[in-house]
Structure 1
Amino acid sequence: MITKNEIKRIKNLRHKKNRKEEGVFIAEGKKTVLDLLKSGCKAEVIYAVDAFDEAEFNYVSPKEMERITLLKSPSKVLGIFRIPKQNEFFQEGLIMVLDGVTDPGNLGTIIRLCDWFGISSLICSPNTVDCYNPKVVQATMGSLSNISCVYTNLVAFLKKSSKPIYGTFMKGNSIYNTSIDPEGVLIMGSESHGISQEVEAIIQHKLTIPRFGSKNGAESLNVALAAAIILGQAFKP
């Protein structure tokens, strides 16, 4: 059984302001909830349609789950977790930086890519979508707990960095002719505006993914797909 106040609260948590005020976020899906629990994230409450043996939970009916889910197709488990303190920033290895990425699905996919390629730190500009947005959390498929996402002023961060700095543009050196330093910084821009002028001024190496198809074909790649291609090349043996 779930109360009207609980339903209202959960729906309000789709908004960043409310998540920040309460210090909590929503995770849906058994795998995502389990991965967060295993990583040490503290669950405030877990709602489940079926038995959930891994932790204490509140039973809800399928209809009640439909009322609280933020997904088009309701999962059988929904958890409210405490937002951890600002994650530790890891200096070692390649660092991914996002400048104004606003699409939740793209950010979630990039977090999964970082997890896959062993990138520990993801640095985001303040205007990048919140990593605790429910759609981002869902798209990470549990990888959120493995990546340190830090929001900060990119210009200040980059000016302090001693690492080689790479950025992606429509015009630049082909990624297939460029060796990306495994201890470098890789910057990806927003879907619509690319990398901001302030950040571009600090970039030392401009990269591009060359087009092999017709000029009348796709005009661009979304940022998550571009990130996958570049990381695949960067980590090529």
Structure 2
Amino acid sequence: MLSKRQSKYFKSLQLKKYRQTEGKFLVEGAKGVEEVLQSDFEVEALIGTSAYLSSLAENLKSKAKETIEAKETDLLQVGTFKSNNTGIAVVKIPGQDRNVVEEKGLILALDAVNDPGNLGTIIRIADWYGIKTLVCSMDTADVYNPKVINSTMGSFTRVNVMYADLKDYLSKSDKKVYGALLEGESIYKTDLTDGIVLMGSESHGISEELRPFVTDPVKIPGRGGAESLNVAVATAVVLDNFFRG
């Protein structure tokens, strides 16, 4: 059974400073837990109700170094869900060897997207379109924040998320950089090829220091009165146009 000491320790991983110190993060709910058990992430502990643990295939349960039976109230104490009658996985944060940029295909870059829900949704969108690499500015939300992980619905296991000084990263790239800017050319009229898609925050857009690296500014033409689009929605629209036809 889950001890009070274990409960306190696992709960601390909700906070970034403890995730960084311990090198671990939480994955909650059946969907996320089963996705991570099927991935190459290292699962340090699997905490679950008796019914849930019994329902899991042995080859999945065996991926966890430790299995701990817990009550539903324990899961709610450790995690962030308001309702969870299945399980939580405690997962090792991968080393830097995982964060190697795959230069083939389309790459997505995010500049100061600091809302965890937006980042999680963007990771899920990237996974939908087969984007394997997501490069984030250092002030973008932490990918291992529970809100981000939960929002990805397991897609974090298939998209390599790395953090970098985007100015340095873009200056060293010879790829086209498609930047979402209000003064850009209509995305529907732009000749789109592989490159880097750069999305900025909703409040400020792409930062001034990164704009000189944008080789192909693009915009989503609006037809109504809304001032802007949610950054995750805008990312989906932009990416969709790369895969039309």
Matching residue of 2:9: 9
Aligned-partner Cα distance in 2 for 1:110–1:211: 21
Cα distance in 2 for residues equivalent to 1:37 and 1:191 = 34
Counterpart residue number, 2:159 = 147
Matched to 1:35, the amino acid is E
* One-letter amino acid of the structure 1 residue matched with residue 230 of structure 2: N
Instruction: Report if aligned partners of 1:69, 1:75 keep a CA contact under 8 Å in 2.
Output: no
Moved >6 Å (runs of 4+): none
Judge conservation of contact 1:102–1:191 (CA < 8 Å) in 2. no
Q: Partners in 2 of 1:187 and 1:112 — Cα distance? A: 17
2:100 to 88, 105, 115: 88
Q: Deviations over 1:116-167 (max 9, x none)?
A: 1111110000000111111111111111111111101101110111111111
Within the candidate set 209, 215, 225, 1:204 is matched to 215
Matched letter for residue 94 of structure 1? L
Distance (Å, rounded) in 1 between the aligned partners of 2:82 and 2:109: 30
Contact kept? 1:99, 1:125, Cα under 8 Å: yes
| Amino acid across the alignment from 2:34 | L
For 2:137, the equivalent position in structure 1 comes to 125
Which ranges in structure 2 are unaligned for 5 or more consecutive residues?
none
TM-score norm. by structure 1 comes to 0.94
Amino acid at match of 1:148: N
Query: What is the DSSP-based 3-state SS (H/G/I as helix, E as strand, rest coil) of the residue aligned with 2:138?
Result: coil
Q: 1:113-192, aligned counterparts within 5 Å?
A: 113-181=125-193, 183-192=194-203
* Distance in 2 separating the partners of 1:236 and 1:65: 43
> Which position in structure 2 is the counterpart of 1:29?
29
**What is the CA deviation profile of residues 155-213 of structure 1, one whole-angstrom value per residue up to 9, with x for unaligned ones?**
111011111111112232111111221x2110000121111111112111111111112
Confirm whether residue 223 of structure 1 aligns to residue 231 of structure 2.
Answer: yes
Determine whether 1:55 maps to 2:56.
no
Does the Cα contact within 8 Å between 1:97 and 1:187 map onto a contact in 2? yes
Shift of 1:226: 0.2
How far did residue 75 of structure 1 move?
4.9
Query: 2:243: which partner in 1?
Result: 235
Instruction: Give unmatched runs, 5+ long, in structure 1.
Output: none
Over the residues paired in the alignment, what is the CA RMSD in angstroms? 1.3
Which residue does 2:78 correspond to in 1? 68
The percent of aligned pairs where both chains have the same amino acid is 41
Q: Residue type of the partner of 2:209?
A: E
2:52 matched to 1:41?
no
Aligned-partner Cα distance in 2 for 1:115–1:31: 15
Deviates most, 171-180 or 116-125: 171-180
Bigger mean CA deviation after superposition, 120-129 or 79-88: 79-88
Counterpart-to-counterpart distance in 2, 1:14 and 1:112: 21
